[in-house]
Homo-oligomer: A and B are copies of this chain.
Amino acid sequence: MKLPAKTIERLSQYRRILLSCQGKGKTHIYSHELAHLLNITAVQVRRDIMLMGYASSQKKGYDIKDLVSVIGSILDPKKNQNVAVIGVGNLGRAITSYFKGKRTKLNIVATFDNDPAKVNTVISGVNCYPVKQLPEMIKSLDISIAILTVTPDSASIVAENLVMAGIRGILNFTSVPLSVAPHVYLEEYDMVTSIEKVAYFVKKNATGT
């Protein structure tokens, strides 16, 4: 089964919404309800669900528990995937604390920083190691995914080390575009670009063009 990348992104969002509904005691949900909560169309919801191969048994909407389980069977790994955050600045801390405990199969198990004041401290329950120890810790903790929140000047070299240490996926929050071997999945996100994009469309709306 080969799902579109955009569908994968939405599955993650569906699940969060569904879990939240479940927490409120809801057991079933209509496609248009889910759509409304995410500001997308009901067709898109149904199509995504169809692509997963799930079909609602009733006309009372989708069974939330089933849906969560199906999404989990697609998104979640069989065995745990371990994640590291490289760079314990404000952003690294935000991500670590934000993500902590969000998913059971996907855990942040280590953070890394060069600052001696940060090394060996505990951030949201996760220990901070010196960047120098990246290779050994990646192996010993079986870390497959790295979240990169270091300063721009060290981004490239750290990424290189990550790849050499055997990392399989990188989520890059630095402003430096990375280049990695093709077997490493790379996702980049840049906040300044997002802000500039919003600014552009705000300006565009204002001027009417």
Contact = CB atoms under 8 A, between A and B. Distances in A.
Contacts of A168: 202, 205-206
Name the prevailing secondary structure of the A interface residues.
helix
Contact of A171 (B16, B177, B194): B194
Interface string A26-51: 00000000001111000000000000
Contact residue range for chain A? Answer: 35 or more
A202 B201 CA distance: 34
- Scoring A90, A183, A186, A195 by chain B CB atoms within 10 A of each residue's CB, the highest score goes to A195
B145 A191 contact: no
A187 B190 CA distance: 13
A197 interface: yes
A193 interface: yes
Contact of A93 (B17, B75, B90, B200): B90
* Number of identical protomers: 2
A22 to B, nearest CB: 16
A75 B12 contact: no
A107 B12 CA distance: 33
A174 B11 CA distance: 17
Contact of A200 (B8, B195, B205): B8
Contact of A91 (B94, B145, B178): B94
A177 B15 CA distance: 13
Nearest to A171: B198
Interface string A84-125: 000001110111011100110010000000000000000000
Contacts of A179: 36, 39
A102 B192 contact: yes
Contacts of A145: 195, 198-199, 202
A118 to B, nearest CB: 14
A2 interface: yes
Contact of A196 (B12, B170, B185, B191): B12
8 contacts: A1-B209, A12-B197, A39-B178, A81-B202, A94-B94, A145-B198, A168-B202, A189-B189
